[in-house]
Structure 1
Amino acid sequence: MTSSVAYDWRLTRDLDAFLGRAGDFLRSRPAQHTVALTVTDALRRRGTRQFGQDAPVFGSLERDGAVRATFFRTPPYRLNLTPLDERGADTLAALLADAEIEVPGVSADTDTAAAFTGAWRRRTGARAALQRSERLYRLGDLTVPEPAPPGRAKVASDADRDLLARWYTEFAEAIGEGGYGEPGAWADDRISYGGITLWEAPDGTPVAMAGGSAPVAGQVRVAPVYTPAHLRGRGYAGAVTAEVSRAALAAGVQEVLLFTDLANPTSNGLYQRIGYRPVSDFATYDFTYDRARGDEQDRARNGARGDG
């Protein structure tokens, strides 16, 4: 699938083709590209239709024979971009609009997200609302919280599947991402590689969880971290996050990463006390569209094609 609008953007729905073209570029900056790396790895392991029947779309920006940027969208999620300058954002907006690819929102580093949002608004008339501001952290020297809360860490197993699925649903709803994906399938995948650790109270009751992505390009991203509301403020999240971070380092990864919501000073403070240090900031925008304007644009487009 190609377009002449932006000659240096290459679009595809073939994951292997995308990784064959852009994989080295993504691995060249594993921290900045952590979302693209971990999501495409999950798609490769679990199948590209894990979020619904619509196939993902991928793209790479090439100049002077080298990949300079990428994007992907796994419906129904937003567009995700690696860093782009304003020209790259503008040409991508033109390409996606002409290809009639649905874009419900965008997530990227702060400057890229703002540049694409501006370009998309000019191109489509969409309204944009900032949904979330986040900070990417990288682990420096791990500092395990002391004293540790009562209990112990345990890697989740098949016996914990229903709990993980329920907590995943609660976590997704809490961050405004509920209703996407199948929680049981997510739990199965994480259990398959030891990707969730629980903190258990002394009586064996799980009280918190922290996950880690499967290692790819020498990095692991810690997520999700979740404690049920009635159990918060007791040190469980810090303890289980520290354990997941320690285990990742012990497995030999070069970088351990995580995102935090900048609107939550508690979590930002907690992770910095454990040893995480800021890398860069990210923003997520949601787009809404005026129906009448969209119908007018469709009529104009169809007329230009001779369809009207």
Structure 2
Amino acid sequence: MTWHFTTDRGAFLAAAGAHLAAEPARNTAVLTTMDGAALLGWWTGPDGTVTGVLAAAPLPDLTFGAVPVEAAAALVLPDGTEPATLRGETAAVEAYANATGLPWEPAMGIRLFRLGELTPRDPAPAGRSRPATTADLAPLAEWTADFARLHRYEPRDDYTDFLTERITEGRLHLWEAPDGRPVSMAAVSRTVGGQARVHLVYTPPADRGRGYAAGVTAAVSRVALGSGAAHVLLFTDLANPTSNALYPRLGYRPVADHLGVRFTPRP
């Protein structure tokens, strides 16, 4: 039983492709970050079968896919590298943190949901959904910066490239109020390994409580289904009761709780 590491996406897929395909929901974070990952890893059991994967995009920020607790506890990164952050299913993250003895603090508790049957809000909120365009970049950049702050992500100086990629690929939608004013947004990842993940769901404070997030989330969920995704996923902040109540009403069902932690370097 051992960990293997590579920087080559092709080598990673050749070794771990069957595991990724068998567990696309639990491996969603690895599937959607592996293209730009600085390090990819897989765990083999006694019979050589891959039963765990990870990605660092970039180092020293580490993400677990589906990883057995014993694999997490046995993880030693190449060259003795130690992660600054780690996220993954709660039991695996805690097993790694406890085994290393690194001081750590929780950064976020999140829940992974998978779409069953999409059940849009009825009646629909006032207004309509539409794909975002580059003309929307200025307000969307402000919304994205606030989204990052609320969810404790590392802020960027400029979100233009991040947003433009999603806009040009038709993966970022807005909800417009009846007066044509954008009031909510949501995006969806590319479909990889049969799964796509809804993210960047945000409504400005002044427009909350009117169902706009439900409308735009249903819209991008349809985009994901139309792209051929067999599994449409999303994460929610466990500390946000509004989002954890919203998504089940749209047809999303819980898969697993995840934990994100920050480590303190050894002296």
TM-score (norm 2): 0.91
1:269 partnered with 2:245 = yes
Q: How far does residue 181 in structure 1 lie from its aligned partner after superposition? A: 8.1
Instruction: Give the alignment of 1:51-200 within 5 angstroms.
Output: 56-63=38-45, 64-75=47-58, 78-92=61-75, 95-96=76-77, 99-121=79-101, 126-180=102-156, 182-200=158-176
Alignment check: 8 A CA contact 2:202 2:213 kept: yes
Residue 255 of structure 2 aligns with an amino acid whose one-letter code is V
Instruction: Give the alignment of 1:291-306 within 5 angstroms.
Output: 294=267
Instruction: Give the alignment of 1:15-34 within 5 angstroms.
Output: 15-34=9-28
Alignment check: 8 A CA contact 1:8 1:62 kept: yes
d(CA) in 1 for partners of 2:100 and 2:64?
13
Alpha carbons of 1:250 and 1:114: their partners in 2 closer, same or farther (altered >3 Å)? same
Q: How far does residue 288 in structure 1 lie from its aligned partner after superposition? A: 1.3
d(CA) in 1 for partners of 2:161 and 2:139?
13
Q: Could you tell me which residue of structure 2 aligns to residue 237 of structure 1?
A: 213
d(CA) in 2 for partners of 1:67 and 1:76?
22
Q: Could you tell me which residue of structure 2 aligns to residue 301 of structure 1?
A: none
d(CA) in 2 for partners of 1:132 and 1:148?
32
Residue 97 of structure 2 aligns with an amino acid whose one-letter code is T
Alpha carbons of 1:155 and 1:22: their partners in 2 closer, same or farther (altered >3 Å)? same
Q: How far does residue 182 in structure 1 lie from its aligned partner after superposition? A: 5.0
Q: How far does residue 119 in structure 1 lie from its aligned partner after superposition? A: 1.2
d(CA) in 2 for partners of 1:35 and 1:192?
22
d(CA) in 2 for partners of 1:28 and 1:36?
13
| Superposed CA offset, 1:18-39 (max 9, x none) | 2332233212211111111112
Greater shift, 163-172 or 226-235, is seen at 163-172
| Superposed CA offset, 1:225-284 (max 9, x none) | 011122211111111111111232234321111111111111111111111111111111
Q: How far does residue 180 in structure 1 lie from its aligned partner after superposition? A: 4.8
Alpha carbons of 1:120 and 1:170: their partners in 2 closer, same or farther (altered >3 Å)? same
Alignment check: 8 A CA contact 1:165 1:186 kept: no
Rg larger in 1 or in 2?
1
Say which SS state the counterpart of residue 204 (structure 1) adopts: coil
Q: Among the aligned pairs, what percent are the same residue?
A: 42
Consecutive unaligned residues in structure 1, runs of 5 or more: 1-6, 49-54, 295-308
1:280 partnered with 2:256 = yes
TM-score (norm 1): 0.80
Residue 109 of structure 1 aligns with an amino acid whose one-letter code is E
Alignment check: 8 A CA contact 2:60 2:82 kept: no
d(CA) in 2 for partners of 1:77 and 1:99?
12
Aligned Cα root-mean-square deviation (Å): 2.0
d(CA) in 2 for partners of 1:197 and 1:89?
37
Residue 85 of structure 2 aligns with an amino acid whose one-letter code is G
1:226 to 199, 202, 208: 202
Number of corresponding residues: 266
